[in-house]
Amino acid sequence: ISTEKENGDLLSKSFQDIISTLPKGNPWGFPDHFLQYHGFWHSSVFLQGILSAQQQFQAQPADIILCSAPKTGTTWLKSLTYATITRTSYDDSTSPLLSKMPHDVVPFMELDHAHFSTHRDLGIPVLATHMPYSALPKSVTDSGCKIVYICRDPKDSFVSLYLFVSKYPKSENMQTFNLDEAFEQFCRGVCWYGPYWDHVLEFWKASLEHPDKILFLKYEEMSDDTILYVKRLAEFIGCPFSSEEEEKGVPEKIVKMCSFENLSNLEVNKNGKHRVRGMENANFFRKGKVGDWENWLTPEMAARLDQITMQKLSGSGLTL
């Protein structure tokens, strides 16, 4: 333990040295500036977690790493993956997902494992992160473990992100930050783990290079046919549904249990508090709809985001 502490002290000292040199960006009303590290913007807490994970996290070949930019469907992907993997231990009336928030059953690399020692206590080998592909700990890419990435229409991601940040607990010393200001920063790429488009593109390109290692999902397609994608997910992570399970409607039951309607109405997700900073779990379950941006963005704002998306993704073969 003392070595762990010494490592931690060393890490925070070198972290202070690193962050003092980094470009600073608009913090979306948070008290501390965002920091730009290797092309992506981070809060200092998350950046510290990234550096720590890069130094210490040892991936195993059987690990499954759920990757996403914030507000693109991480909570949903966590619950679907967890329910799929644990389906022989639990069913839709006994799953820990009924009493625990999805973020509490699948750990988050930057926070939960940021200050971890090399020991691993994952329970099931599933871990989530918002890190860009280029920032993933080397052991993740080297070990050949499976990566599942989810992305979403930037218009809905932005709206979801803005509304999430606006609900941060007041004790965080948040400054007011309006939609127009947030929009401007998002377009410039200054937001948690932004630029959003670069985040998506890195995983998209990697998924083309390593289709057997990276499954690339879109929130909209998942919403459209969740059962199809849950089957694809199960197959990709190495636990396909048997024909007997399909006959019994196991994939359908998982999809129903993990649906927005079901999860958002559970006591833990309605009234529980998130383990980080007293954030309410309910803030992770806002509306869960495709295209809600229409209620928040002017046609001009939408056109501007679409224009950036077209420009950034041009030639990549990806549309959002």
Active site residues: 130
Pick the binder of ligand A3P from 288, 304, 306, 313 (CB under 6 A).
288
Beta carbons of 274 and 103 less than 8 angstroms apart = yes
Provide the CA 133 distance to its chain's centre, in angstroms: 12
> Crossing angle for the helix pair 299-313 and 154-166, nearest 10 degrees?
120
286 binds ligand A3P per the rule CB under 6 A: yes
- Which range binds ligand A3P by CB under 6 A, 88-96, 105-113, 227-235, 287-295? 287-295
Chain positions 16 to 75 lying near ligand A3P, rule: CB under 6 A, are 68, 70-75
Residue owning tokens 């057997």: 212
Site string for ligand A3P, 259-278 (x = CB under 6 A): xx--x---------------
The reply to whether 84 sits near ligand A3P by the rule CB under 6 A is no
What is the C-alpha to C-alpha distance for residues 49 and 307, in angstroms, rounded to an integer? 33
Count CB-CB contacts under 10 A for residue 119: 7
Q: How far is the CB of 293 from ligand A3P (least distance, A)?
A: 8
Residue whose CB is less far from ligand A3P, 90 or 260: 260
Least distance to ligand A3P, CB of residue 94, Å: 19
Under the binding rule (CB under 6 A), the answer on residue 296 touching ligand A3P is no
Q: How far is the CB of 226 from ligand A3P (least distance, A)?
A: 8
281 in Cβ contact with 272 (< 8 Å): yes
CB of 176 to ligand A3P, least distance (A): 20
Per-residue x/- mask for ligand A3P, residues 161 to 200, rule CB under 6 A?
--x-------------------------------------
| Tally of CA atoms within 13 A in the half-sphere of 92 that contains its CB | 15
Around Cβ 210, how many Cβ atoms within 10 Å? 12
C-beta of 195: minimal distance to ligand A3P in Å? 17
Tokens representing 19? Answer: 């962050």
Could you tell me whether strands 214-218 and 146-151 are parallel, antiparallel, or unpaired per DSSP bridges? parallel
- Please compute Rg for the chain using Cα positions: 19
Per-residue string for binding with ligand A3P, 107-126, x by CB under 6 A?
--------------------
Closer by beta carbon to ligand A3P, 19 or else 161 = 161
Rounded least distance, CB 287 to ligand A3P, Å: 4
229 binds ligand A3P (CB under 6 A): no
Cα(156)–Cα(302) distance, integer angstroms: 10
Bond preceding residue 154 cis, omega within 30 of 0:
no
Q: Give the whole-angstrom CA distance, residue 258 versus residue 82.
A: 10
Q: What would the DSSP string read from start to end of 165-211?
A: HHTS-GGGTPPP--HHHHHHHHHHT-STT--HHHHHHHHHHHHHH-T
Q: Binder to ligand A3P among 156, 191, 193, 305 (CB under 6 A)? A: 156
Q: Is 160 in the site for ligand A3P (CB under 6 A)?
A: yes
Return the residue of 287, 291, 298, 303 that touches ligand A3P, per CB under 6 A: 287
- The 8-class DSSP code of residue 150 comes to E
Number of residues that bind ligand A3P (CB under 6 A): 21
Helix axes 2-20, 44-56, angle to 10 degrees: 130
* Site residues (vs ligand A3P, CB under 6 A): 68, 70-76, 156, 160, 163, 258-260, 263, 284-288, 292
